[in-house]
C-alpha cells in the first residue's frame, strides 16, 4: 500500500532479531509523522526497493551497511545505528552519499560497566568452576590457586570514555588499584576520576592483573590485543572485553588460554561472533556472553526511543543528535 507519509525503515538482523515485530517503542515516539516498518536483513544486499525509498533508517547491530547498499538509498536523511558502535557502517561512504550517520552513545553505560565488573568478579573469584564443582557433588576447590583478593590486584582499563569511567569507579569501590591508558584524553582526566594514568599500552599490559577493554573498534584498535600484547601480560592475568570483538585477535587469545599463558578471559564480544566451533567453545578458562552487556529492559527502551527521536528529527528536517560522520550543515 502506498502512503503519503515518509518511511522510517527499521533494519533488524535476520539471523537473530533483537527488535520486536510491532516496533512499539519506535512507533510511540514517531507517532503519525511517518510510517514505521521493520525489515529483516543480513546486510544491505537485502535492501528492497521499498527500503531504498526510506527517509531514515534505524539499523540494529550485525547488519553491515556498505558503500553499494548506501548508494542505493534515494532519500535517506539519516542512518541511525541502534547502539554505541558504528563499525558496521561505512561512515565515509555514507558521507559521500550525503547521509548523516548517528549512534546512541549513552544508553547502556551503566549496564556495560556492570557487566564488565560481573565478568571481572566471576574470573577473580572463579564462580563458574566453583559452581561446576559444587554441582558435580564435589567440594575440592580445584581452582584455589586462581582465587584472588581484589584489593591486592591492579585493574587496567583501555579507553576512559563513558563506560570506561563507569567501570573504573565501580572497580575502585571494590578495592582494585585502577590504572588506565587512553592517548586521546586531555591531561588531568586521571585526577578527575582519581586513578593512575599510564602512558603506554605496553606498560599497562605488563602491570595489570585484570585488563578491561572499553575502546571503539577502528583501524587503530583492530587487533589491539594480539600475540605480542598477550606475551607482555602476566600468566596469572585475566582479560575482560565488553567493547568490540575484533579489538582482540580471537585466535591469539584462545591459544593463550589453551596454552596456559593467560589465566582466564571474560568476553561479551568476540571477533567474528558468535563462536563458530565446538573447539572454540571448549577453550579452558573462558567465559563468553552473547554480546549482551548493553541489555536490560530499561536500556533497550532508552536506546530504541533515542534512535526513534533522531529518525523523527530527520524526517522533519530538524537538527540531528550524535552525528559520527559530520559535520552536516543542513539536512540533505
Catalytic residue from among 38, 115, 291, 304: 291
Catalytic residue from among 77, 170, 214, 244: 244
302 flagged as catalytic: no
Grid coordinates representing 162 are: 563513558
Catalytic residue from among 273, 280, 302, 321: 273
Could you tell me if 283 and 61 are in contact, meaning their C-beta atoms sit under 8 angstroms apart? no
β-bridge partners, 81: 59
Spatial neighbors of 71 by CB under 8 A, at least 6 apart, are 93, 97
Instruction: Give the separation between CA 283 and CA 318, rounded to whole angstroms.
Output: 50
Grid coordinates representing 89 are: 557502517
Q: DSSP assignment of 57-119, as one string?
A: EEE-TT--B-HHHHHT-SS-SEEEESSS--TTB-HHHHHHTT--EE--TTSSHHHHHHHHHHH
Could you tell me if 310 and 321 are in contact, meaning their C-beta atoms sit under 8 angstroms apart? yes
Spatial neighbors of 305 by CB under 8 A, at least 6 apart, are 25, 26, 28, 29
228 flagged as catalytic: no
140 flagged as catalytic: no
List the catalytic residues.
244, 273, 291
Amino acid at each position: 500500500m502506498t502512503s503519503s507519509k515518509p518511511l522510517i525503515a527499521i533494519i533488524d538482523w535476520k539471523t537473530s532479531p533483537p527488535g520486536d515485530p510491532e516496533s512499539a517503542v519506535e512507533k510511540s515516539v514517531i507517532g503519525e509523522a511517518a510510517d514505521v516498518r521493520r525489515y529483516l536483513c543480513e546486510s544491505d544486499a537485502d535492501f528492497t526497493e521499498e527500503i531504498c525509498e526510506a527517509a531514515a533508517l534505524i539499523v540494529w547491530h550485525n547488519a553491515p551497511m556498505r558503500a553499494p547498499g548506501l548508494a542505493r538509498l534515494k532519500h535517506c536523511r539519516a542512518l541511525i545505528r541502534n547502539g554505541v558502535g558504528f563499525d558496521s557502517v561505512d561512515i565515509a561512504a555514507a558521507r559521500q552519499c550525503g547521509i548523516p550517520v548517528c549512534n546512541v552513545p549513552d544508553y547502556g553505560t551503566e549496564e556495560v560497566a556492570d557487566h564488565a565488573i560481573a565478568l571481572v568478579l566471576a574470573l577473580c573469584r572463579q564462580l563458574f568452576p566453583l559452581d561446576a564443582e559444587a554441582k558435580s557433588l564435589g567440594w575440592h576447590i580445584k581452582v584455589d590457586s586462581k582465587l584472588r583478593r581484589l584489593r591486592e590486584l591492579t585493574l587496567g582499563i583501555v579507553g576512559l570514555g563513558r563506560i570506561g569511567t563507569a567501570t573504573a569507579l565501580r572497580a575502585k569501590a571494590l578495592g582494585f588499584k585502577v590504572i588506565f591508558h587512553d592517548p586521546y584524553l586531555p591531561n588531568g582526566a586521571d585526577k578527575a576520576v582519581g586513578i593512575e594514568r599510564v602512558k603506554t599500552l605496553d606498560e599497562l599490559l605488563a602491570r595489570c592483573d585484570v585488563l578491561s577493554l572499553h575502546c571503539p573498534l577502528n583501524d587503530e584498535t583492530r587487533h589491539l590485543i594480539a600475540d605480542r600484547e598477550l606475551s607482555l601480560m602476566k600468566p596469572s592475568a585475566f582479560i575482560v572485553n565488553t567493547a568490540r570483538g575484533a579489538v582482540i585477535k580471537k585466535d591469539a587469545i584462545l591459544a593463550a588460554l589453551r596454552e596456559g599463558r593467560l589465566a582466564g578471559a571474560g568476553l561479551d564480544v568476540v571477533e567474528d561472533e558468535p563462536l563458530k566451533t565446538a573447539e572454540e567453545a571448549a577453550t579452558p578458562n573462558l567465559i563468553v556472553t552473547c554480546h549482551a552487556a548493553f541489555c536490560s529492559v530499561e536500556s533497550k527502551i532508552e536506546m530504541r526511543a533515542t534512535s526513534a527521536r533522531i529518525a523523527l528529527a530527520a524526517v522533519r528536517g530538524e537538527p540531528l543528535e550524535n552525528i559520527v560522520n559530520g559535520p552536516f550543515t543542513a539536512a540533505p
